[in-house]
Amino acid sequence: MSCLQENRLNCIEIYQLQGHSYAMRHFLFILSLCCLLTTAPVVHAVEDYKQARILAEAGVIQHLDDIIMRARRNGMTGHVLDIAFHHNRGRYVYVVDVVDDAGVLHEVIFNAVNGAVLDVFEE
């Protein structure tokens, strides 16, 4: 097959795809919108992590590792599943999801400044 014939076939394929261009554009728009919506929480989480690291290095809040170690010494057991850092109601807090040995999920809210447990929710 010559180069000219191959280019002609490619042009025909592109022309045939243009018949579906509205549906394809609609699909690509929805797909890109979904991608944007799913990455927004990740970007926000990364910014929260950076803010927590900067505040901990400046001595404004405690490092999460120190808070978790203190909580373990005071009897907190289980596996940490998720951690979030928030500035909530004028306070810096760590929200830690912990599953205990019985498989029950707990959300533990720590004061990031002094490490105190502010609340525990069973989910």
4-44 residue pLDDT tens: 444 444 444 544 555 555 555 545 455 554 444 444 443 34
Q: Does position 114 have pLDDT exceeding 90, yes or no?
A: yes
Query: Which CATH topology does 61-123 take?
Result: Nuclear Transport Factor 2; Chain: A, (3.10.450)
- β-sheet bridge partners, residue 106: 98, 122
**CA–CA–CA angle 92, 113, 85 (5° rounding):** 35
Read off the pLDDT of residues 57-110 as tens digits, 9 standing for 90 and up. Answer: 898 988 888 888 888 887 778 888 888 888 878 889 988 888 888 888 989 888
Our separate counts of H helices and E strands in the chain read 3, 4
The predicted pLDDT at position 82 comes to 85
- β-sheet bridge partners, residue 82: 97
Q: Give me the half-sphere count of Cα atoms (radius 13 Å) on the Cβ side of residue 9.
A: 6
pTM of the full predicted structure? 0.60
Q: Please provide the average confidence, as pLDDT, over all residues in the chain.
A: 72
